[in-house]
Amino acid sequence: MAKELIIGNEAVARGLYEGGLRVASSYPGTPSTEITEFISTYDDVYSEWAPNEKVAAEVALGASIAGARAFCGMKHVGLNVASEPVFTGSYTGVNAGWVIAVADDPGMHSSQNEQDSRHYAKAAKVMMLEPSDSAECLEFAKKGFELSEKFDCPVILRLTTRVAHSRSLVELGERNDIGVKEYTKNPGKYVMMPAMARSRHVVVEQRLIDQAKWAESCELNKVEMNSTKIGVITAGICYQYAKEALGKNASYLKLGCVYPMPVDLIRDFASKCDKVYVLEELDPFIEEHCKTNGIEVIGKEAFTVQGEYSQSMIASVILGKSTDSLATDLEIPARPPVLCAGCPHRGLFYALKKQNVTVSGDIGCYTLGALQPLGMIDTCICMGASVSALHGRNKADTANEKKSVAVIGDSTFIHSGITGLIDIAYNASNSTVIILDNSITGMTGHQQNPTTGKNIKGDPAAAVNLEALAKAVGINRVRVVDPYNLAQTETAVKEELAVEEPSVIISRRPCALLKYVKHEKPLKVNTEKCKGCKACMKIGCPAISFRDKKAVIDFTQCIGCGVCEQLCKFNAIEKGE
């Protein structure tokens, strides 16, 4: 078959497909999202977006126990959410293979922390594989099912952003569909109550010993001997960086299986090299394994636990090489990400700014409301925390409970905001929760969710009625506003803050980037009328700039949402023709 240039995530999807995947359930999260999006293009695989990663992992484990090769995928922080079924799934083991993909984000391109998910493999006593390019993504995903069944264990496939989102060439293969295996009732294996779990723990410990033995000679761990002056022990993307930086000037031990790790293989490799470096991003996971086993290596003392590695970093540390580069003496302003022109969140944040409230924020595009000139997010912790942290704030500081709100997107609210809202209703805090319902999961690139009325394939599906849901959990005051209407939005915020009971405001307007959203003609500034007062610039719209003492609207960006129009006292912003 022809070679295709595809991102690591698509290659994972392809590998799972070729490996006989039958059921996939995930929650979107950069940099893992595209795996499940690509899976959804295969008609002979059942796929879905789950409300959160814990649900997704449980769906996958349930499918595996029933006898179908199953998958769930998530970003690193999603594994925190999914960890409960993963830890216990390590004890139950599988029936058909279960592969879990987790995508770490060194350098935090799109994340709130830089955690190293390899610790989960060790903590949950689960095998973990780490590919270094798209071809390995395909191969390892496929292999994951075989290993999962061979060892009766979930297998985690660990990616990092550069592997997940880089395109490289792969060769596609045929699908091997093993069908649905027979399910046999086996409470000793699948019912994890204390007596059974105790005997399963014995199995888990023996399995780790067996896997470590297998890792000594498995084909996923490769030795490449070149010059023995420098030895490199590495895995994942760092292998590629090392190869580019050092080429044949070093020998390599590339670990495809990063947990459990071999000991003799590493010791033997290290003994043949003069100086041995461990090259791994984030925590010294491989390094500590080496040092625990008395193998002398150089690791984090020469490198870093923060951010990404690269070929030049490796060349500089190991070879002392540096590269010349061109530069100007211009002062170059930063270009941070912004809420898009026409983003419905903008009007809502402006209304909050006018009320000068404390805003408990959450994970999504609207986290960008934290940046100037809006600057209207006080906290951003994790999925759903806006709602529960607001409840905590209001219980701690009742004097200011009328001066604080939570903001949370539709998808994030379903993920884990609803449980916080139940807490607010049940334990009665005078909290106002604003659901930013833009009818899509935005930041990760437009995935459907349980509120949108469509499933992963875009087919009609049951839609959560947010108004009815809020009422059903015990919130009596629920109202809907259009964030493009500043006066209406401001009034709603003011009134709901004033009342002596919990309330929910649904700020509803579809994401301006959705294909079905009709854009108005770009607005224009009438330069005769514009006084240069900059009132329109208070909302931080990227389409508005200031030239020659007048506001200017960029026609390539403006979608005519009209929010700036409402701020102009001189009627200088006019509809475009």
Q: How far is CA 423 from CA 29, 385, 393, 412, in A?
A: 26, 12, 13, 16
Contact characters 352-371, other proteins, x per CB under 8 A: -------------x--x--x
Q: How far is the CB of 539 from other proteins (least distance, A)?
A: 10
Say whether residue 333 binds other proteins (CB under 8 A): yes
Say whether residue 323 binds other proteins (CB under 8 A): yes
- Write down the residue that tokens 């994942």 correspond to: 236
The correct pick among 546, 549, 570, 576 for binding other proteins (CB under 8 A) is: 546
List the interface residues with other proteins, window 128-157 (CB under 8 A): 133
- Smaller CB separation from other proteins, 213 or 446: 446
Say whether residue 332 binds other proteins (CB under 8 A): yes
Say whether residue 537 binds other proteins (CB under 8 A): yes
Please give the Cα distance from 406 to 180 (Å, whole number).
Answer: 45
- Write down the residue that tokens 């295969």 correspond to: 42
Helix axes 53-66, 76-92, angle to 10 degrees: 30
Say whether residue 205 binds other proteins (CB under 8 A): no
Say whether residue 30 binds other proteins (CB under 8 A): yes
Say whether residue 335 binds other proteins (CB under 8 A): yes
Please give the Cα distance from 25 to 52 (Å, whole number).
Answer: 9
Please give the Cα distance from 105 to 116 (Å, whole number).
Answer: 9
Say whether residue 227 binds other proteins (CB under 8 A): no
Q: Which stretch binds other proteins (CB under 8 A): 91-99, 198-206, 327-335, 461-469?
A: 327-335
- Smaller CB separation from other proteins, 338 or 422: 338
Say whether residue 434 binds other proteins (CB under 8 A): no
Q: Report the amino acid identity of residue 430.
A: N
Say whether residue 110 binds other proteins (CB under 8 A): yes
Q: Which stretch binds other proteins (CB under 8 A): 15-23, 164-172, 381-389, 460-468?
A: 164-172
Say whether residue 286 binds other proteins (CB under 8 A): no
Say whether residue 31 binds other proteins (CB under 8 A): yes
By CB under 8 A, how many residues form the interface with other proteins? Answer: 64
At 66, list the tokens: 């029933």
CA 373 to chain centre: 26
Say whether residue 331 binds other proteins (CB under 8 A): yes
Say whether residue 337 binds other proteins (CB under 8 A): yes
CA 434 to chain centre: 23
Q: Report the amino acid identity of residue 438.
A: N
The correct pick among 41, 186, 527, 545 for binding other proteins (CB under 8 A) is: 545
Element (H, E) at 480: strand 477-481
Say whether residue 166 binds other proteins (CB under 8 A): yes
Say whether residue 101 binds other proteins (CB under 8 A): no
Backbone phi and psi for residue 521, each to the nearest 5 degrees, phi listed first = -60, 145
At 89, list the tokens: 């799934």
The correct pick among 520, 555, 575, 576 for binding other proteins (CB under 8 A) is: 555
Starting at the earlier edge strand, list the strands of the sheet with 251-255.
221-224, 251-255, 230-234, 275-279
On whether the CB atoms of residues 278 and 286 are closer than 8 A, the answer is: yes
- Smaller CB separation from other proteins, 179 or 373: 373
Degrees, nearest 5: CA angle 5-8-9? 115
Q: How far is the CB of 488 from other proteins (least distance, A)?
A: 26
- Write down the residue that tokens 């293989």 correspond to: 265
Contact characters 234-273, other proteins, x per CB under 8 A: ---x--xx-xxx----------------------------
516-522, Cβ contacts within 8 angstroms, sequence gap of 24 or more: 519/342, 519/559, 519/560, 520/559, 520/560, 520/561, 520/562, 520/575, 520/576, 521/560, 521/575, 521/576, 521/577, 522/553, 522/554, 522/555, 522/557, 522/558, 522/559, 522/560, 522/576
Degrees, nearest 5: CA angle 203-207-211? 180
The correct pick among 64, 168, 503, 507 for binding other proteins (CB under 8 A) is: 168
152: left (phi over 0), alpha (psi -120 to 50) or beta: left
The correct pick among 41, 44, 169, 532 for binding other proteins (CB under 8 A) is: 169
- Smaller CB separation from other proteins, 35 or 504: 35
Q: How far is the CB of 298 from other proteins (least distance, A)?
A: 21
- Smaller CB separation from other proteins, 426 or 555: 555
- Smaller CB separation from other proteins, 111 or 360: 111
Say whether residue 487 binds other proteins (CB under 8 A): no
- Smaller CB separation from other proteins, 69 or 162: 162
Residues that bind other proteins (CB under 8 A): 3-5, 7, 30-31, 33-34, 109-110, 133, 162, 165-169, 237, 240-241, 243-245, 310-312, 323-340, 365, 368, 371-373, 443-445, 534, 537, 540-542, 544-546, 554-557
